[in-house]
Amino acid sequence: NAGVTQTPKFQVLKTGQSMTLQCAQDMNHEYMSWYRQDPGMGLRLIHYSVGAGITDQGEVPNGYNVSRSTTEDFPLRLLSAAPSQTSVYFCASSWGGGNRISGANVLTFGAGSRLTVL
Amino acid sequence: DQQVKQNSPSLSVQEGRISILNCDYTNSMFDYFLWYKKYPAEGPTFLISISSIKDKNEDGRFTVFLNKSAKHLSLHIVPSQPGDSAVYFCAAITRHQGAQKLVFGQGTRLTINP
């Protein structure tokens, strides 16, 4: 199994450009999410989805859009890139995430996408 | 507002000794806590978790302790091995409108010296 696959691994953008970070999982996970990792800040949740057609905002959603048209894919769109969006982005998924699921929501992470905005 | 805090950015331990990584939290509604380990250029991987109704969970060389009154979590690794050198993230589960979300600490870089 491939697990969680992110593309591209590296990207350099100019301020104002738009782009999409792709995320796909082959584990039939209901829950998918996007995090960004910045020095001294840990991992911060951008957006998440508890199933196809359902998305919601995390801690730092501004400047990002998501959609979930299939169970497998959860792309993250940067509408107009800014230098403050320079970061490493991680997509993660799990088998559950709604309140009907008990227990810990153990996430499987992708390898990350390093984005630099000049 | 940082709900989960790891106040030590780095920790250096000699091989074979015990490594203790600490984590503090502010939200008493967290019901699960997890530790993730991250190597460079890879995504974080799940290490161990603990429910808020327990005070200890052990898995091989890894033990997590939870002190709810102090809102404090710790991860003990014994004995420490060179392959344990990585960044460790503490995380807590919160629920928002029916969905679980993980809140992460800033991470602690652990270096195991031979």
pLDDT single digits (tens) B43-62:
999 999 999 999 999 999 99
Chain A: nearest CA to B1, how far in angstroms?
Answer: 10
Whether A102 and chain B come into contact, CB under 8 Å, resolves to no
What DSSP designation does B88 have? E
End-to-end CA distance of chain A: 36
Q: Which residues contact B104 (CB under 8 A, 6 or more apart)?
A: A35, A42, A43, A44, B4, B36, B89, B90, B91
Chain-centroid distance, C-alpha B83: 17
pLDDT (tens, 9 = 90+) of chain A, 118 residues, equals 679 999 999 999 999 999 999 999 999 888 999 999 998 888 999 999 988 999 999 999 999 999 999 999 999 999 999 999 999 999 999 886 544 445 566 889 999 999 999 9
- Interatomic CA distance for residues B51 and B63, integer angstroms: 13
Q: Do B100 and A99 touch (CB under 8 A)?
A: yes
Chain A: nearest CA to B32, how far in angstroms?
Answer: 6
- Other C-beta atoms closer than 10 Å to the C-beta of A108 total 19
Q: Do B44 and A90 touch (CB under 8 A)?
A: yes
